[in-house]
Structures are given as C-alpha cells and as structure tokens.
Amino acid sequence: MDKTAKVVNCINSIISLTSDELSLFLSYINTKVLKKNDYLLKEDQVSDFIAFVNSGVLIYTKTLDNADEVTTDFAFDEEWVTNNPSRLKKSPSILNIKAIEESELFYGRCTFYQKNEIVFSFFEYSL
C-alpha cells in the first residue's frame, strides 16, 4: 500500500480533488515521526500546523494551576491533529500534544495553506 493511501482516502471522503490538486497537496506535506513522549506542540508555543495521523496515538494535555496534568483529548490513526484556537488566532497554546507511542504524521505548516486557497479551504472544511 502507498504510504499516503490513508490521507488520500480521508481527503477523498471529504472533497473531490483533481489528480493535479491532490499532487499539489501531497507535494507540500512532509512526514514527521514522533517517538514515544515526543511533543508535537507544547504549552505557550503557537500552533502553525495541521497534521494527519498516519499511524500512532497522540494525547492532548493541559497543565492546571496546581501543576496537575489532565488529558483533554486523543488523536488516533486517520485523524487530524492541531490546536485550532492557537493556530487560527496565532496565540500561545494552552495545550500540549505529544505522542504516547511512536507515531507517523503527515505534517503541513499553515503558511502553505494561506498560499494555496484550494488546500486551505479543504483543511478548514475538514477540521
């Protein structure tokens, strides 16, 4: 199976892209592998990405005022991961996102989406 098959199937389930549009999209994403306990995003960083979980599991956590860490969400295979409030407002994240097992992501920075209206519209619609 092609390495990008899961993300292509997900995209095709949401929107119809021409082969040229799909090729353009795939040319702008990178593969990112996180080892167990690697962070994708830490509190106070600004989220500037959207990622697709090709394999693995990520956990969203928040640190409370008393320093306890609470789980707020998970991201599993074939799900999208980002911190929308931070990404859309360009504000510091109040969440951590980290891998709880080795995880492979298809990763794109938001600066790309602002340059390409077709894919930008797709990502905004799908999340």
Domains and CATH numbers, the chain: 5-126 (2.60.120.10)
Is the distance from CB of 11 to CB of 80 less than 8 angstroms? no
Give the separation between CA 111 and CA 123, rounded to whole angstroms.
Answer: 13
Band the pLDDT of 100: cuts 50, 70, 90. Answer: very high
Question: Which strand (E) or helix (H) includes residue 103?
Answer: strand 103-109
Give the separation between CA 25 and CA 72, rounded to whole angstroms.
Answer: 30
Q: What is the share, in percent, of the chain residues with pLDDT greater than 70?
A: 85
Instruction: Say what the pTM is.
Output: 0.82
pLDDT at 5: 92
